[in-house]
Structure 1
Amino acid sequence: MFKSFRTVLAVAAFTVGSYAVAADLSGSHPDTYVVKRGDTLWDISAKFLKKPWLWPEIWQANPQIKNPHLIYPGDVLSLAYLDRVAVQAGPREEQPLNAIPLSDVEPFLKNLSVADSFRELPYVAGLEENQLRATAGQLVYVLGLDQAQVGERYAVVRPTQRYTQTHVNSSGEYLTYSEDLDFRGRRIKGAPAGGLDSLWNSSALADGGPVELLGYELEQVNVGTVTRGLVPGTETISLTLQDSGKEVRVGDRIVPVQAKPYDLQFFPHAPSVGISEGKLQIAAVASALVAGGPRDVVAISGGSREGLDNGTVLSIWRQGSHVNNDVRWPNSSRLDDQPRSGAGRVSLPDEYVGHVMIFRTFEKVSYGLVMEGIKPSHVGYELKHPDATY
């Protein structure tokens, strides 16, 4: 238990980190704040910090606190003095606060994953009574799961997106693409390719480097239990569906149910490693949109391979445009950046958009929640260190 108004941070301590935190205290912070149900760590820290992702550094400054992240409804935060932050313990009758509302990300935690491939996975080959769809209480017949035992549980998943990225040599820029897939994992005819159609069937661009597959997004549509294994004269096992959510169809894939597939607590922090310029971009916005705002979920073209983990905060930037220099060359229509034969282009600076916090990480793709923004976040926008100024 916390002692009453135990000092968590003493800015006057003779450490460089203490002075850094002091500089990040907002001048408009309240003297005290009583934590309420429904609050988040991000929202509360934004009340008195210029950089909400510095919350963990503040509470970890005092080693006497066993778990500096656990702030509960009823706790009283005191900022009466500029040289300290203190907490008076509340009744501890409810769950501790999270950095973000779980309700905003729970469907993405439970139902989405990213894999390098899916075509080798077992799949639904038929449905009970040869129906077109199946739901809770009905049987589906799975091919490729010969060793499954009665009583084992499996998730039914469906490919929905294909994420790719290339590094274009001529411009030095990264280009990230997402493509909608049908239930078989094939690109939907007529659907936008997110950029260049050649990415689907080509391993390289004419003027760039190889196209890298970042992963396939798999959506969980149901869960089932094995009720009968292989029997003579058949090639499939029987799976009884348990979820009344989305219906299952022939071609859906089967994966084992994971005991703990995701985190439930997130603590905002800056990236632990350097961010490669231009590498991280918004690959997609949830609900098939091309732009989103605060509390919208986005897919990001980077993951654990780039040193990202759950809670990492990044800033979102619109890449600067390249415009014709109509003042110096009013008759120019050139599209490159280099003046030639009296024509030229002007490169404008990147524009700050907002901040995003990662809440689920795979090797090459992550999902993040847009925490704040001054304008919409579009597919293709670049992600940088949260403290970036340009």
Structure 2
Amino acid sequence: MYLRKPWDWPKLWGMNLQQIRNPHWIFPGQVLFLDISNGRARLTMGSDSQGIPTVKLNPQVESSPLPPEGIPTISPELIAPFLTQPLIVEPDTLEASPRIVALPKGHTMASPGTQVYVRGDVSKATRYQIYRPAKPLVDPATKKIIAYQAEYLGTTNLVEPPSGPDAVSVFRVDGIEREVGVGDRLVIAPPREFLNYTPHAPAKPISGDIVSIYGDLSMAAKNSVVALNRGADDGLERGDVLALWHNSRMVKDSTAPGKPEIELPDRRVGVMMVFRTFKHVAYALILSADEPVEVADRFTQP
């Protein structure tokens, strides 16, 4: 029998001299086994040769892709036509706005490239939008006209400024959506805005009425656009979420003797969100409605 040298003996047991001197130390790479037998638990040292694989764990980052786009609060195609045109003309603006007074000889309507003659103050800008007052908006409470819902016609540019305070100026029609004629009005083209719709409750308590349903409809439902008799001067701003209510009404109780009149309570029927504001008017998109919404239905903070 061949006997190894004494300093080789620890290698037979899978140990090194440092472990002989410090048997209580544990070193990287060692394999430890937990032995539970005879009511006791013991740790023993083994090796990879015993058939137990070594698993190395390394820190890593788990990730998941974000959605390609955020979830929009309002579908853009529903309100796009209302964002690029004036839509509302205040009564004082209507009275002061320049007006088309004549067309070239032989013309009854203007088309792109046509020069038109305008009277009024055009000193504040050279580019204007053309509109036609189409519908007065009447406040149900005061019975007064609070604004005019304008019909957008096109754009025009100043060619020849007036020579005097009351002289005629010449404009060239650039682009139109409908034919332009005598009596149509000019309003300064507003600058482009960065539009951000973050739904939130109004900053203060507010209430009012629906004055118009866009499209001359008698009733509105989800995704309809309605005009309100409150605007920026009343504290409304883009993103305000409002509750829709049917007003209380009187009905006859046909189940009781004499059929007396009784009052039905107010009923909340939906929610809408403001997406554009003017001085005394705002436009909102109906987000949900349990029942058809009508002109003179009221709104409050949610």
Q: Same fold (TM over 0.5)?
A: yes
* Per-residue CA distance 1:30-73 (angstroms, 9 max, x = gap): xxxxxxxxxxxxxxxxxxxxxxxxxxxxxxxxxxxxxxxxxxxx
User: Which residue does the alignment assign to 2:202?
Assistant: 271
1:1-390 equivalent positions in 2, closer than 5 A: 90=66, 97-111=71-85, 112-117=87-92, 118-145=94-121, 147=123, 152-165=126-139, 175=140, 211-230=143-162, 235-260=167-192, 262-276=193-207, 280-330=208-258, 344-386=260-302
- Structure showing greater Rg: 2
1:137–1:242 contact (8 Å) kept in structure 2: yes
Task: Give the CA deviation at 1:266.
Answer: 0.8
**TM-score normalised to structure 1 length:** 0.56
1:318–1:381 contact (8 Å) kept in structure 2: yes
Quote the Cα distance in structure 2 between the aligned partners of 1:322 and 1:306. Answer: 31
**Residues 293 and 325 (structure 1 numbering): CA distance in 2 closer, same or farther, change over 3 Å?**
closer
Task: Give the CA deviation at 1:327.
Answer: 4.4
Q: What's the secondary structure of 1:288's corresponding residue?
A: coil
Structure with bigger strand share is 2
- RMSD between aligned alpha carbons? 2.5
Opposite residue 151 of structure 2, the aligned amino acid is E
1:98–1:267 contact (8 Å) kept in structure 2: no
Q: What's the secondary structure of 2:233's corresponding residue?
A: helix
Task: Give the CA deviation at 1:282.
Answer: 1.2
Quote the Cα distance in structure 1 between the aligned partners of 2:119 and 2:157. Answer: 15
Opposite residue 185 of structure 2, the aligned amino acid is R
2:244–2:300 contact (8 Å) kept in structure 1: yes
**Residues 89 and 213 (structure 1 numbering): CA distance in 2 closer, same or farther, change over 3 Å?**
farther
Task: Give the CA deviation at 1:123.
Answer: 0.0
Task: Give the CA deviation at 1:349.
Answer: 1.4
Task: Give the CA deviation at 1:305.
Answer: 2.6
Task: Give the CA deviation at 1:238.
Answer: 1.4
Q: How many residues align?
A: 237
The runs of 5 or more residues in structure 2 that have no matched partner are 1-62
Q: What's the secondary structure of 1:129's corresponding residue?
A: coil
Quote the Cα distance in structure 1 between the aligned partners of 2:248 and 2:189. Answer: 44
